[in-house]
Amino acid sequence: MKTAILAGGNGTRLAEETGSRPKALVEIGGRPIIWHVMKRYAEFGTTDFVVALGYKGGMLREYLRQKDPVSPATGEKAPEAHDLPGFHCPPEWNVELVETGLDTLTGGRIKRLENYLENETFMLTWCDGLADINFSALLDFHRSHGKLATLTAVHPPERFGRVELDGDRVSRFSEKPRVTDRWINGAFFVLEPGIFDYIENDETQWEKGPMERLAADGQLMAFRHTSFWQCMDTIHDRLLLEKLWTSGDAPWKMWK
């Protein structure tokens, strides 16, 4: 099964980081977020990726094109590989890079990947955040209902921290607790080829017309994910993810 990753947007809400590089290359713990996303999928055996390029796509192409260097003397990975520029893809990974246009919207980028996804079920995400989703369970859920599309529904964090009161006395502060009485789209999907019929052209935004029509047709289901999910829309979000990584307690990390 292939995983499509949309990595062509401008990332304007994270302008402090994306003026000089695409959002997919914004780093968490010294590694671009796209590395974290791909590593999470790979832990579930999903190592066939199709990456949609756009804004500063040449930088992503440069980063993703390299393989792990192997010592000619020992046949083993060179110990200094992690210090070299570029993403050193393990040999079992297959990464296809597809130019999808500078101003193409999300639906249009998905549509441009159609010929690379081989008319089969595929996963879809973009480099907007990280989660500890069990992708095997997500795929099992998708296969159980037989519809065209599954989105991952998550509880969002509150925009602001919460002040808890005991009468007029401030009893404690809570920094952005989860809002457990509502769900939002967490941007991790499993999709069937039939979804391409819902996308018109490059000006189609996936989250608008296609998803709305899929829902109206009864073809969109929700996999409820109640544990860790964190977007990376702002510099504060990035610093939060960085703090989790450096603490050694990053929930999305499954590898040593």
Provide the pLDDT for residue 135. Answer: 98
Q: How many CA atoms lie within 13 A of 172 on its CB side?
A: 4
In the block, which residue shows the tokens 């009485």?
A: 181
Number of separate domains in the chain: 1
Residue 114 lies in a domain: yes
Residue 218 lies in a domain: yes
Q: What is the C-alpha separation between 172 and 98, in angstroms, rounded?
A: 50
Residue 252 lies in a domain: no
Which residues, in sequence order, are CB contacts of 202 under 8 Å at separation 6+? Answer: 101, 103, 104, 105, 108, 111, 112
Q: What is the C-alpha separation between 112 and 101, in angstroms, rounded?
A: 9
Which is more confidently placed, 220 or 10? 220
Identity of the residue numbered 137: A
Tens digits of residue pLDDT in 118-177: 999 999 999 999 999 999 999 999 999 999 999 999 988 776 667 777 776 777 777 666
Ramachandran region of residue 168, left (φ > 0), alpha (ψ -120 to 50) or beta? alpha
Provide the pLDDT for residue 86. Answer: 47
Which residues, in sequence order, are CB contacts of 77 under 8 Å at separation 6+? Answer: 68, 69, 70, 71
Supply the range of the domain harboring residue 55.
Answer: 2-157+185-246
- 193 within 8 A of 119, measured Cβ to Cβ: yes
Provide the pLDDT for residue 36. Answer: 94
Strands, E assignment, 146-219: 149-154, 162-166, 169-174, 184-191
Shortest CA distance to 195 belongs to which of 182, 185, 207?
Answer: 207
| Angle, CA of 121, 93 and 246, to the nearest 5° | 105
* pTM given for the model: 0.84
Provide the pLDDT for residue 82. Answer: 39
Residue 170 lies in a domain: no
Dihedrals φ, ψ of 213, to 5°? -70, -35
Residue 256 lies in a domain: no
Residue 148 lies in a domain: yes
Tens digits of residue pLDDT in 57-100: 988 888 887 544 433 344 454 444 333 344 556 778 899 999 99
Residue 175 lies in a domain: no
CATH assignment at residue 136: 3.90.550.10
Provide the pLDDT for residue 92. Answer: 80
Q: What is the C-alpha separation between 229 and 156, in angstroms, rounded?
A: 8
Provide the pLDDT for residue 209. Answer: 93
Q: How many CA atoms lie within 13 A of 174 on its CB side?
A: 12
Provide the pLDDT for residue 164. Answer: 78
Tens digits of residue pLDDT in 182-197: 899 999 999 999 999 9
Provide the pLDDT for residue 89. Answer: 66
Residue 214 lies in a domain: yes
Provide the pLDDT for residue 210. Answer: 97
Q: What is the C-alpha separation between 212 and 205, in angstroms, rounded?
A: 11
